[in-house]
Amino acid sequence: MPALYALVSVLFLFVPGILVLRALGCCKAVSFSCAPIISIFAYTVFSIVLPILGVACGWMSIFFPALVVSLLAFLIRFVMNQGHRLRKELSQDVVPSNSICWVSLGVSVTVSVVLFSLFFHYLGGTDTLIQGFDTVYHVNLVRSFLESGNYSSLSASIYPLNDALASIPLDSNAGAFYPALWHVLCAMLVGATDAQVVVAANVTNAVLCGVVYPVGFWGLLRVLFPKNDRVLVAGSVCAVAFAAFPWAILLRGEQFPQAAAFALVPSSVLLFISIFKDELNSAQRIKYAVLFACSLVALVFVQTNAVFTVGLFAAFYVAHAIFAAADSRARGCLFVIAWTVAVVLIWVAAFVSPLMKGVVSFSWASYASCSQAIANVLTLSLGQDAPAQWVLAILVLIGLLYSIFAQRERRIWLAALYAFLALIYIVDTSSDGTLKHLLSGFWYTDPARTAAMLALYGVIPASLGLSWIMGGAVSLVRLVLRHDALSPFVEKFLFLGTAVIFVFCFYYPRPLNIEGEDAMTSFGQLAASLRSLSSPDFVSILDSDEQRFISEAFANVPAGSVVINVPDDGSAFLYGIYGIDVYYHRGGIGDAESANSQLIRTKLSDYVNDSETRAAIETVGADYVLILDRPDTEGKRGVFHTYQRDMWTGIESITDNTPGFSLVLSSGDMALYRITGAN
């Protein structure tokens, strides 16, 4: 079934976008590479407009309008031109296609699909959720969308907007802006296939990072290096070779929207580069500019900081274009300096903007010295205690040197971009202070995100480096065979053969024995980390024993029953995963907490004798109380970092002998009580 769910997700992401881009005269390669981000733009529009019009959102009400509009656009364009001009435009490609071009695309997707199959194999299946703190918000928001029929990112809330205010622990529930298009995609998949929310989340991640991302990079490399087929083959094995992205981001289990946004960055960058192609006329440039603007809107509603990630590429690329267009080197340098000043001013203005204050002021502690951070960049050991990726690091270095010194394909701007991204990462991981926030604040100063960004753009020099080695392999065979030239078939065979060798070098998961000690490879560590999540020794927030208890305890509980809970003990997941109506969907309630919630948290155990608490229970309509981790239990407790014992005394002090509560089921430190006399 996961394969079927993945197919549905692929259709959602590719079909509307392909039709629109083909209707606009884009070639097959650009249409295929950029289709997902255009489809997501359409879903962004419909998910916001439908609630305003009073129409409930669902997979049909979002997907079919997008499909109909895109199909009509294609048919109208075809009929108006009687097919002739459109077919001519579609056949005109900025970069001519050939067999190795499409073979490299197939290799790229195949490598990614195999790796994601192994990812979920080690994880324990697509029905296993990696339980990060923000994962609670993500799965609960998906469930809230499904129950409320309101998918708008402008009014996102983990408590369904159509719920009665008295039934939630907040004084108000108008929702707020949150980049929620990842959640929309998950909700659409659940609605269309009846998949579990967890499965939909994992499948959506796999399709975005395992299909959309490598396809987007294939298109980007194809436009960046139109005369170098070797780069496409190299990129097919390099796209998902960096441990920092997408693997480390997904392994954290709470940055799913971030992973989705970064997976879409290559497509957005491709549209941006297309604006500057010499072969295009003014109308075509405007077309790509509009499409690029649409891609930025889509990124805003997936994870906003991806716009800044694209902006960095755009800043360096425009500097390159300005210098190349100048009629003298001196004037070109002057223009580049002026452009740099403008970019810095825009960056600082965004940094001091009140809209960005909450993001740029967020602080993650540094964990490395400056020298260690530099070493981490050079070895691609981009996570704390992450193994070095030596082979990939050497390819990146070769690619950077090639981009600087190659006479025919010199791209100094590319090396400058990578160097600046490395600077952001080094400052982020090795210092604390204003400079750190200025450079990495748009990514929450999160080392994992700045590392992922460096890895994302590192695919380009790595692909260049591997393509150089492929060229060297061809030259070596020519020398050995004493031929001035090899047949195209033999050259393609050598390209693919070299790629296969590096697939083994990149993705080999077994430890290497060096001087009697095991040196873990990056993908070996990834596999070990995934296995550890299902180990009996791993203390998870909602462990397997608790999940079994939930399944048994709620077997005979009527659907829709309101369950008072302590969210930080893992019970906050129950709403998103199982649809159980727990009262608290997340810990850290904040200043908007209702008076009823305050009474329930602190005085529930005495509700029989306390009239105010009894009234609060009646208002909320609570039926049960669930405790998954008692604070006085010996051993480790699986609770989130936001847990504060004194906040939940009214709930956690309930025992089998507390008046007004009857035990439904208990096991160890877990218990479900029925509130007697309630409702």
Instruction: Report pLDDT digits (tens) over 352-376.
Output: 999 888 899 999 999 999 999 999 9
| Nearest to 379, CA basis, from 455, 439, 465, 431 | 455
Sequence-separated (6 or more) residues with CB below 8 Å from residue 579? 143
Q: 561 burial class (0-12, 13-18, 19+ CB within 10 angstroms)?
A: middle
Each residue of 223-258: pLDDT tens digit? 999 888 889 989 999 999 999 999 999 988 789 999
Instruction: Say if residues 239 and 116 touch (Cβ distance below 8 Å).
Output: no
Neighbours of 648 (CB within 10 A): 23
Q: What is the 3-state secondary structure (H, E, C) of 565-586?
A: CCHHHCCCHHHHHHCCCECCCC
Looking at per-residue pLDDT, the higher value among 301 and 515 belongs to 301
Residues of the chain with CATH 3.40.50: 544-675
Q: How confident is the model at residue 514 (pLDDT cuts 50, 70, 90)?
A: very low
Distance CA(457)–CA(469), nearest Å, equals 20
Dihedral-angle region of residue 639 (phi above 0 means left; psi in -120 to 50 means alpha; beta otherwise): beta
The DSSP letter of residue 387 is P
Dihedral-angle region of residue 95 (phi above 0 means left; psi in -120 to 50 means alpha; beta otherwise): beta
Instruction: Say if residues 9 and 189 touch (Cβ distance below 8 Å).
Output: yes
| Nearest to 70, CA basis, from 115, 114, 30, 17 | 17
Question: In terms of CATH architecture, what is 544-675?
Answer: 3-Layer(aba) Sandwich (3.40)
* pLDDT computed for residue 34 by the predictor: 96
Max CA distance (Å), the chain? 97
Instruction: Say if residues 232 and 443 touch (Cβ distance below 8 Å).
Output: no
Distance CA(288)–CA(300), nearest Å, equals 18
Distance CA(9)–CA(305), nearest Å, equals 24
Round the average pLDDT of the chain to a whole number and report it. 89
Structure tokens given for 72: 């009509």
Instruction: Say if residues 564 and 626 touch (Cβ distance below 8 Å).
Output: yes
Structure tokens given for 478: 């020519």
Which residues partner with 632 through β-bridges? none
Q: How open is the CA angle 244-245-246, to the nearest 5 degrees?
A: 135
Looking at per-residue pLDDT, the higher value among 471 and 551 belongs to 551
Each residue of 101-116: pLDDT tens digit? 888 888 899 999 999 9
